Structure 1
Amino acid sequence: MMQIKFLFTLIAVLMLVVLGGKEADAVDCLSRRYRGPCAVWDNETCRRICREERRVSGHCSARLQCWCEGC
């Protein structure tokens, strides 16, 4: 019974690693032109700058960085 729990846990961890790796391959990239911290109230500025960089849109992250979509 203990081996089945271990095997299940191992499979669950491997799935998280694989799926998390896919998330990292998303098509977002840091803005090259946005300067300074990017907070929630700066989302519109981030979107505008990303569009000027010929990206689809943009958003501020929890780490206060402007991420552009469609890279």
Structure 2
Amino acid sequence: MVQMIFLFAILALMTIVLMEANTVSARDCLSGTFGGPCWAWSGEKCRRLCIEERHVSGHCSGGMKCWCEGC
């Protein structure tokens, strides 16, 4: 039973990571000024820094990186 729960948790995590990887488009680029991991609560800082870098907006990815949109 414990193995089934563990397996389900790993599969769910892998699905989330793969879905997040697909949200980064070809027109996105990594922020040059954002430092450290980009957590969910860091989203506003990521957007602000990307706009300051003269991009359209920004978002945190599942890989905890700040991606700027419209590069």
Amino acid at match of 2:29: C
Q: CA RMSD in A?
A: 1.7
CA deviations 1:8-56 (Å, max 9, x no partner) are xxxxxxxxxxxxxxx8762000000000000111000000000000000
Alpha-carbon distance in 2 for matches of 1:62, 1:70: 19
**Residue aligning to 1:51:** 51
Structure 2: which 5+ runs fail to align?
1-22
Matched residues, number: 49
Percent of counterpart pairs with the same letter?
59
Distance 1:37 1:25, change over 3 A: closer
- TM-score scaled by structure 2? 0.64
Name the structure, 1 or 2, with higher relative contact order (CA <8 Å, separation 6+). Answer: 2
Structure 1: which 5+ runs fail to align?
1-22
Structure 1 or 2: larger helix share? 1
Distance 1:54 1:26, change over 3 A: same
- TM-score scaled by structure 1? 0.64
